[in-house]
Amino acid sequence: MTETTAAAGAATAHRPRPGRRVPVSTYRLQLGPEFTFADAEALVPYLASLGITDLYLSPVLQAAPGSTHGYDVVDHTRISDVLGGREGLESLAAAAHGHDLGLVVDVVPNHMAVPTPAWHNRALWSVLAEGPDSPYAHWFDVDLSDEDGLLMPVLGSRIGDALAAGELHLDRAEIPDSGDGVPQPVLRYYDHTFPVRRGTENLPLAELIERQHYRLSYWRVADEELNYRRFFDVGTLAAVRVEDPAVFDATHALLLDLFRAGVIDAFRIDHPDGLADPRGYLRRLHEATGGAWIAAEKILEGDEELPEDWPVAGTTGYDAAWRFHALHVDPAGAVPLASVMQELAGDTPDLAGVIEESKRQIVSTSLVAEIHRLTDLLTQICHTDIRLRDHTFSALRDCVVELVVAFPRYRAYIVPGEDPPGHEERVVREAADRARERLDPERHDTLDLVVDLLLGREAGSAGRTDEAPRRELVIRFQQVCGAVTAKGVEDTAFYRWTHLVSLCEVGGDPSRFGADPDELHAWAARTQAMWPVTMTAGSTHDTKRGEDVRARIGVLATYAQEWAETLQELRRSTSELRPADLDGRTENLLWQTLAGTWTADGPIEAERLTEYLLKASREQKTWTTWTAQDTARERALTEFGTALVTHPEVSATFATWVELTAAAVRRTILGTKLVQLTAPGVADVYQGSEITRTSLVDPDNRRPVDFTALADRLAELDAGRGPADVDEEKLRLTAAALRLRRRHSEAFVGPEANYRPLPTTTGHAVAFARADATGPLAVTVCARLADVAAHRGMAEATVVLPDGSWRDLLSAHTWPGGDVRLGDLLAEAPVALLERA
C-alpha cells in the first residue's frame, strides 16, 4: 500500500459514515442558568446569518445545583431543568434545523459530580447508602472493599473535632425521587446530607458514623488517602466506569435516544484520556451512532498525533490553536524577552526544568494518593509472585514517581492483553530512560520490572500477564499520567513560565518560539490527509486566555526591545505602589496580562484583573495556593493590580503602547482568525469571538455576550457600512469566511477537499488555496510579522494565485491568476479572502 493510499484510507476512516451530518463550522455556546435553551433558540437567525452551520452546546444533562458549566453531571436520565428540560432542547433543535443548522452536544463520560447535598446524584446516594449491594456499585471507579468505606472528605476539621463541636447530627429528610415520600434517617454536616445505613440509625452517633458505607473525613485527607478516582485532583468529580457496557448504556441512553430522534446531530467528547479504554469507548459510541461526527477533547503534546485507530473526526482544536498563534510570534523576540523574564522572575530559559519541578510538586501533594495507589498495586503484584518479592514499596514508589514525572504527554495508549503499538512502547521506554538518570542504580532493576509490567510484558513467574492487578496497573498508570500532566504542566508550569505567556496554552508548546509558513503548511497537509474534518479552534471555554488577548501578548515578541523599555517605565512610575515581596513570576505575568487586555478603550475592569491574578497565582503554587492561601500577600497583589488600572502614568504609558502596536495587533488578530477559519477542518467560533474580546481564563471567558448588538452591527455591515474599527473588521471577516465555507463546503470538508500552499516571495506572508474536485475555489492570504504599508520589501513581494479570476470578499477588488504584488493585494487590510469569480 502506498503512503498516499494509506492516508486516503485513514481520512475515510475518520469521516462520518454516509448519511451522517458533517459540520462545516460550529459556534460554541456556554449554557447555564443565565443562558438557557430558549436564549440559544433566539440566536438561531443571527448565527445562520453569520454563516454558521452547527450549534455546539456545552453539556445538557442535569448538573449539580448551581452549576455554571454543566460538566458536573448528576443525572444521565434528564436534560437539565435549569436549561429548559427536554422540551426546551427539542424546541432549540427544531429552530436550528429549520435554519439548516445542526446540533453538536458536549458529552461528559469520565465523571459525575459529588454534589451538595449528595442525594442530587441518585447513583452515588445509592452507593453511599448500600455500599457493595447497591445496583450502582459498579458505576464508580472506587474500591468498595475498603473496610472504611468510600472516603467523603468534606469536613472542615478532623472528625474528632467535628464530633466534639456537635457539627454532625442525625436527622430525617424526605429524599426527592426516592419513590415513597417517607422521611429517611440522614446524617447532616452543615449543607451536606448523607444517607444512613439501614439498621444503624439507633446507634450512638460516633458508632453510627463508623458503621456507614462511607468515611467522613477532614478535607485534607483526600490528597493522601482517597480511594476513588477523581477528575484530576477535583474531589467533587468522581470517575465513572464507562468501560462497563452496562454503565455506558445507562449513561448514554438519553443522549442516544435524542440522536436517533434527530434532535442531536453530532457529539464532542470531554476528556477521553481519563477513561480506562478511550479507544473502546469511542468505538462503542461510533457504533451506537452509526458513525456520527465525533470530536474528542484529546490534548496533543508537541508533535504527538491522535491515535489512528480512534474512530473519531479528530480533536477539539487545541493542536490547531497554538500553531495559528505561533505563526504570528516573531522568533527575534525570544532572546530579549528571556532577558526580561530573567530580570523579573529570575528564570533562565529552562522550561523543561520548570515543568519537572512543577510535576514533582503535584505528585507529592494533590496527587500523592494516586501515586500511592499505583505503588500499592505494584506491591500487591510483587508480593503475590515469589520471583518479585524483593522489590520493595519504597523502590517501586521511586520508580513510579520518576516515570510519571518523565512522561512527556498525557498518556500512552496500551490496552491490557494486546501487544503495545511500537510508537506507544517507545514513549514509555524513552520516559524510562529519563527516569533512569534520576534513580539510584540500585533502583534500575526495579525500574525495568515496572516498565515491563506497564507494557503488559511477562515479568516474574511465567504465564501471569493476564491477572486482574496487572491489567489494572496498565490502565491506572496511564490515567495518572494524564492527571499529573494536566495539573503539573498546564495548571502549574504554564502559570510559572513567563517568557511569553501567550505561548502557554492548553496543548501548546512554549518551547517553540514562533512557527513559519512551511511548518503551518506541513501540519495542514498532514491534517487534511489524515483528519480532514477535525475541529479547529481559536478560543475555547478551557483556553488560558482568548485568541485576541493571545494576539496582543504575542505582539510583544515583535516589539521586544520597546516592550523592555516600556516595562522599565511602568515599573519606575509604580515603584512606590509595588509590594516589596511581589513575586517576580507573578509580576511578569501581570504586566503581560495588562498588555493583552489593554485596548484603545483602556484596561479591563479591576475586579476581572484581580480575580485572574488570584487564580493565576494560586495555580503557580509558589507563594500562595488554593489550599494554603497567603492572604496578606494576595491582598497586596490585588491592591496593586487595582491601582494600576487607574494610575495616570500607567494609563499614559499603555496608551502609547497601544498606539505603537495597533497595526501589528490588527494584523495578528485578523490573520490568526482568517487562517483558523479556512485551514483544514471544521472551524469553531467561541461565543462572542467574532469580534475582539479581552477574555481571560474561565470563568472570565463565560461572561455574557451582547448578541443583539452583534446582530445589529452585522446587519449594518451587510447593508454596506464600512467597518468602524478592528472589532467590526473581525466581524466582517468572520462572516465572510463562514459564508464562503457554507457556499463551498465541498472545498472545506467534502471528500475531495484539498489544501494547497501558494508560493510567496517572502516569509512575511502565508497563502493557501482550498479546492474540491473542480479545482481551487477559495484563497487565503495574510501578512505576518510585517506591516505591508511600512515594509518596502513586503510591498514588492508577490503571491502566485491559481489560474482564473479572484474576487476579494473584503475589498471587492478582483485579481487575475498568477503573480500579484502583496502591496496591491493587501493595500487595504493585512488579509485577503478570495473567492473564484
Euclidean distance between CA atoms 411 and 478, whole angstroms? 5
Domains of the chain, by residue range, sit at 3-110+242-315, 118-238, 356-493, 706-836
Q: Which CATH architecture has domain 706-836?
A: Sandwich (2.60)
Give 378's contacts (C-beta < 8 A, 6+ positions apart).
Answer: 391, 396, 400, 450, 453, 473
Scan for cell 491515535, then name that residue. Answer: 307
| HEC secondary structure over 534-594 | CEECCCCCCCCECHHHHHHHHHHHCCHHHHHHHHHHHHHHCCCCCCCCCCHHHHHHHHHHH
Q: Residues 69, 30: contact at Cβ < 8 Å?
A: yes
Give the model confidence (pLDDT) of 188-204 as tens digits. Answer: 999 999 999 999 999 99
Q: Which residues on neighbouring strands pair with residue 54, listed in sequence order?
A: 26, 102
Name the DSSP class of 179.
Answer: S
DSSP string across 290-337? TS--EEE-----TT----TTS-SSEE-SHHHHHHHHHTTS-GGGHHHH
**pLDDT above 60 for 512:** yes
Q: What is the DSSP letter of 597?
A: H
Give the fold, CATH level 3, of 3-110+242-315: TIM Barrel (3.20.20)
Alpha-carbon gap, residue 617 to 628, rounded angstroms: 12
Residue 550 has pLDDT above 80, yes or no: yes
DSSP letters of 405-450? HH--SS-----TTSPPPHHHHHHHHHHHHHHHHHS-GGGHHHHHHH
734 contact partners, CB below 8 Å, separation of at least 6: 50, 51, 673, 677, 685, 690
DSSP 8-state assignment for residue 681? S
pLDDT band at 421 (very low <50, low <70, confident <90, very high): very high
* The three cell numbers locating residue 144: 468498595
Residue with cell 502596536: 661
Per-residue exposure over 280-314, b if at least 16 CB sit within 10 Å of its own CB, e if not = ebbebbbebbeebbbbbbbbbeeebebbeebbbbb
Q: What is the pLDDT of residue 4?
A: 52
Q: Name 284's Cβ contacts closer than 8 Å, sequence gap at least 6.
A: 245, 248
In the predicted structure, residue 148 carries a pLDDT above the cut 90: no
Q: Which range is least confidently modeled, 87-91, 216-220, 753-757? A: 216-220
Q: Is a pLDDT exceeding 90 seen at residue 223? A: no
Please check the confidence at residue 166 and state whether its pLDDT lies above 80: yes
Of all residues in the chain, what percent carry a pLDDT higher than 70?
Answer: 98
Note the pLDDT of residue 1: 43
In this prediction, residues 636-657 reach a mean pLDDT of 98
Confidence of residue 6 (pLDDT cuts 50, 70, 90): low
Spatial separation of the C-alpha atoms in residues 47 and 99, rounded to whole Å: 9
360 pLDDT above the threshold of 90: yes
CATH architecture of the domain covering 118-238? 2-Layer Sandwich (3.30)
Please report the pLDDT score of residue 289 as a whole number. 98
Average confidence (pLDDT) over 71-85 = 97
Is the per-residue pLDDT at 264 higher than 70?
yes
The model's pLDDT over 437-476, given as tens digits with 9 standing for 90+, comes to: 999 999 999 999 999 999 999 998 888 888 999 999 999 9
DSSP class of 25? E
> Which residues partner with 754 through β-bridges?
771
Partners of 315 in the β-ladder: 296
| Mean pLDDT for the stretch of residues 330-344 | 97
Q: Closest by alpha carbon to 780, among 747, 746, 731?
A: 747
Q: What is the pTM of this model?
A: 0.95
Whether the per-residue pLDDT at 366 is higher than 70: the answer is: yes
pLDDT at 373 over 80: yes
Please list, residue by residue across 508-545, b when 16 or more beta carbons sit within 10 angstroms of its beta carbon and e when fewer do: bbbebbbbebeebbebbbebbbbbbbbbbbbbbbbbbb
Given this model, what pLDDT does residue 179 score? 65
pLDDT, tens only, 656-705:
999 999 999 999 999 999 999 999 999 999 999 999 999 999 999 999 99
Average pLDDT of the segment spanning 261-286: 97
Confidence check: pLDDT of 3 > 70 = no
For residue 204, whether the previous peptide bond is cis, meaning omega lies within 30 degrees of 0, is: no
- Residue 147's H or E segment, with its range, is none
Closest CA to 271 of 223, 237, 303: 237
Q: Before 117, cis peptide (omega within 30)?
A: yes
* pLDDT per residue as tens digits for the range 115-132: 999 999 999 999 999 999
Residue type, 451: V
pLDDT tens figures, 733-743 = 999 999 999 99
Q: Which three cell numbers stand for residue 350?
A: 529552562
**How far from 336 is each of 332, 503, 559, 742, CA to CA, in Å?**
8, 16, 10, 44
Long-range contacts of 311-314 (CB under 8 A, 24+ apart): 311/13, 311/14, 311/282, 311/283, 311/286, 312/14, 312/269, 312/282, 312/286, 313/14, 313/15, 313/16, 313/531, 313/533, 313/534, 313/535, 313/682, 314/14, 314/527, 314/531, 314/533, 314/534, 314/535, 314/681
pLDDT > 90 fraction of the chain, expressed in percent and rounded: 92
Please report which confidence band the pLDDT of residue 229 belongs to, taking 50, 70 and 90 as the band edges: confident
Average pLDDT over residues 569-582: 96
Q: Is residue 513's pLDDT more than 50?
A: yes
CA dihedral 677, 681, 687, 693 (to 10 degrees): -40
What CA–CA distance (Å, rounded) separates 126 from 641?
Answer: 48
Please report how the helices 318-326 and 517-530 are oriented relative to each other, as an axis angle in degrees rounded to 10: 160
How far apart, in Å, are the Cα atoms of 345 and each of 341, 560, 582?
Answer: 5, 17, 10
Annotate 226-237 with b (16+ C-beta within 10 A) or e (fewer).
bbbbbbbbbbbb
Chain-centroid distance, C-alpha 599: 26
**What is d(CA 216, CA 169) in angstroms, rounded to the nearest whole number?**
13
The pLDDT value given to residue 181: 74
* pLDDT greater than 70 at residue 570: yes
Q: Where are the beta strands (DSSP E) in 731-811?
A: 754-757, 765-772, 775-783, 798-808
Is the fold of 3-110+242-315 the same as that of 706-836?
Answer: no
- The C-alpha atoms of residue 378 and residue 391 are separated, in whole angstroms, by 9
Please enumerate, as own/partner, the contacts of 126-130 that have beta carbons within 8 Å and a separation of 24 or more: 127/213, 128/152, 128/194, 128/195, 128/212, 128/213, 128/214, 129/195, 129/196, 129/197, 129/198, 129/213, 130/197, 130/213
H-helix or E-strand spanning residue 694: none
- CB 765, CB 799: distance < 8 Å: yes
Higher pLDDT residue, 294 or 178? 294
3-class secondary structure for 363-379? HCCCCHHHHHHHHHHHH
Reported confidence tier of residue 577, pLDDT bands at 50, 70, 90:
very high
